[in-house]
Each structure stands twice: as structure tokens, then as C-alpha cells.
Structure 1
Amino acid sequence: MLDFTFDQVKGRLHIKYTGFWSEAESDEAIAAFKSYTKKLAVSHGAFTLLDDMSGWVPQAPAVVENNVEFGHFCMTLPLVRNAMIICSPLVRRQVLRTVQALECGVYDNFAEADTWLSEVEPVRAT
């Protein structure tokens, strides 16, 4: 459903979305997202967010409407940038309806999203 990975060096939260969600699973995903990101904001402060929806499937209309809460909650977080990898045109339309108030970069692949997020992430030591 949701897989969270946080890169301490970059200050980037990577979330991978999978599966076809029921309304109950959507509620669980939102609760997990809120819990994880609230703790992250307290422990780390500002961060970037990479939403990897490259393998996510189109969702039922009720789930799409329920997922508007993701966008509303993101506006309360100390996000520097939010990049989304969305390959499916239908998923892209569904997701963009839920995040109308957010400024997000939407990309077809990881390389483009990574480049955009890296512009504002800390420079890595070599």
C-alpha cells in the first residue's frame, strides 16, 4: 500500500504507492502518512517528498475523493518540494485532482524527479 523510506543525507522522504485500495485501505494509508510525516517533521524539520506512483493503478472514485486529504495535510508539513512520479495518464488525472492547492512537480521517471528535488536538497559530500 505505502512504503516509506527516508534518506537522512538528502532529507528526502520517498513513498512508494502500490495496489488497488479500498476506502478502508485509503483511510489506513492516510493515517500512516500523517503519523510518519508528523514524526519526521519533529525529528528532522523541513524535507523533500518523492511520491513514487509509477506502479500505482487507477483507483475507485470514492478512494480518489478520500485521498484529497493527502493534499490538505501536506500543506501543514514543512515540505520544501514535492515531486511525483506518475506514469499512467489516468492515475495522473486522478492524483492531480486531489492536490490542486499544492505546488508539485509531476514527472514520468525517477531521474527527472530526482534532479528537481536535488536542486533544493543539501549538497552531498563526495
Structure 2
Amino acid sequence: MIRQIEFTLRPRSRGFHPITDEIEANLPPLPAAGLLHLFIKHTSAGLTLNENADPDVRTDLEAIFDRLVREREAYYIHTCEGDDDMPAHAKSTLVGTALTLPVSRGRINLGTWQGIYLCEFRNRAAGRRIVATVVG
């Protein structure tokens, strides 16, 4: 069985946002065993899996990424959409745009402290489109 759906996440500000609950709310019933593939249809945001217990992790990740890829660098050529545009594309490349997760007993099989994150790299973004493919 393969099922695929597409949905829009609610808009969020720049930062790292836990979205596991929103992902699960949009999924069809999951199989007893299989895989869930998530793909974000954008070049200035990403998806990752990380600790979901301590909100300081999200704050620290944002600080790390902002130091790795700074805004307003003199060598940027692609600057027509604002100071956050080119850095957002670079950060998206570093994080990635897809996750493949195991499904067990009809649920996403995450570790105790793991959660799915939307990595929003633009200051102002509309809702992000997600394609979810369930194999099982």
C-alpha cells in the first residue's frame, strides 16, 4: 500500500518549530508497519528531527545557524527578496527538505525525546506545503 497526501502547515515565524502533532493530525491512518516520507516543497525552509523536550535546543539551533550563515554578506548575489532570502536557501540546503521515518503499530516510531521540526528560515513565510507518502 502506498498513500500520498499534501497539506499546508500553519504559518510560523523564523525559527525551529516542533510540528509532530500537526503532521500526525494531517496523516491518513498509518499501517501496522511501514515508512513515512515527508517532503517540504520549499527552498527556504527545511525538516529535521531533534530533541523535543527542552525549548533551549530550538533557541540554540537558531543561534548556531545564524552564525553559520549570516545575513547581508557582501558576496551574496541573490538578494532581491530581502536580507533573509539567500541565507534561508543556504540553511535549507544544510538541513534538507525531507525525512523518512519508521511506522510501527500504526504510529510514527520516534525516540522518547525526538520530535519533527519545521526549520523556518524566512522572517515572514506563508504556510509551508508538505507531501506525506505512507508506505506499508
Query: What is the TM-score of this pair, normalised by structure 2?
Result: 0.30
The structure in which a higher percent of residues are helix is 1
Q: Could you say which structure has the greater relative contact order, defined with CA pairs below 8 angstroms and 6 or more residues apart?
A: 2
The structure in which a higher percent of residues are strand is 2
